[in-house]
Amino acid sequence: MSLNQNSTVATNSIPERESVMYQLTSVTKNYAHKGKTVRALDVAELSIPAGQMVAIQGPTGGGKSTLLQMLGALDRPTSGSITFGGKDLATLRSAQLGTIRAEKIGFIFQNFNLIPTLNAAQNVETALAVNGVDKAGRKERALEALAAVGLADRADHLPSELSGGQQQRVAIARALVKNPQVLLADEPTGNLDEAMRDEVMELLERQWREKNLTLIMVTHDSAVARRAQRRLRIAHGKVTEAK
């Protein structure tokens, strides 16, 4: 069962070269703010093994989002290297980063970020449009992904016709439909009430186990963070292991 494999895999049981999903070395990210340079991220060393479920916590403005941007290939660091699956994201061109995002990384956002004019199935299909899947294949896989998150009967509903929890489940289906290696979640339960929070977290955990994902979540919610195998704390751009 993949659950056992994933949850128990330790970095030393598999050769390290294959098991490390992310390797950050001397990564900094600076922003110009009112004429001054602000260092948003300063990570000396961080390794995230494949299949790990990581929660990132920390104060607002501490660098959580910046770290997520680096891990998600949305932005390049000012200096240092971020190795993802053997490639250094810091040196790739924008188009190459785009391809990596399209194929290997799934995103979940606090505000769900669904396209308001597209129905649930079409929203899921947007993730496949860039992966060369034909129309019939896209439709089929989108419906499967929606079924996997329990929304088979809501495929033709617009986001505005769905509850917050349902919208986030559509977003999870969109993130997972392309079978990514990594799922990055930015406050996935931040806009949900408790009941929906648990519902979404159970879904995420189930998908993480079943699909052998590396799941990295930024969260304020300690209840959510406690579910993770590993908790990182980031403040003033520095990452520390939380107890």
Nearest-angstrom CA–CA distance, 195 and 214: 25
Q: Which of 30, 109, 205, 235 binds other proteins (CB under 8 A)?
A: 109
Question: Across 60-150, where does the E strand assignment appear?
Answer: 79-84, 87-88, 105-108
Please give the size of the binding site for other proteins, defined by CB under 8 A. 37
Indicate whether 30 belongs to the interface with other proteins (CB under 8 A).
no
Dihedral sign of CA atoms 209, 11, 19, 24 in order: positive
How many beta carbons lie within 10 A of that of residue 56, not counting itself?
Answer: 27
Residue type, 225: A
CA–CA separation, 95 and 112 (whole Å): 24
Q: Which stretch binds other proteins (CB under 8 A): 46-54, 63-71, 162-170, 229-237?
A: 63-71
CB of 172 to other proteins, least distance (A): 13
Q: Does 1 engage in binding with other proteins (CB under 8 A)?
A: no
Residue 176 interacting with other proteins (CB under 8 A): no
Residue 179 found at the interface with other proteins (CB under 8 A)? no
Among 99, 179, 212, 229, binds other proteins (CB under 8 A): 99
Residue 214 corresponds to which tokens in the numbers above? 């590396």
Indicate which single residue of 6, 107, 182, 231 sits in contact with other proteins (rule: CB under 8 A). Answer: 107
Q: Which span (16-24, 98-106, 196-204, 223-231) binds other proteins, by CB under 8 A?
A: 98-106
DSSP readout, 20-76?
EEEEEEEEEEEEEETTEEEEEEEEEEEEEETT-EEEEE--TTSSHHHHHHHHTTSS-
Which residues of the chain form contacts with other proteins (CB under 8 A)? Answer: 65, 68-69, 72, 74-75, 94-95, 98-99, 101-103, 106-107, 109-111, 113, 115-118, 122, 125-127, 129-131, 135, 138, 174-175, 186-187, 190
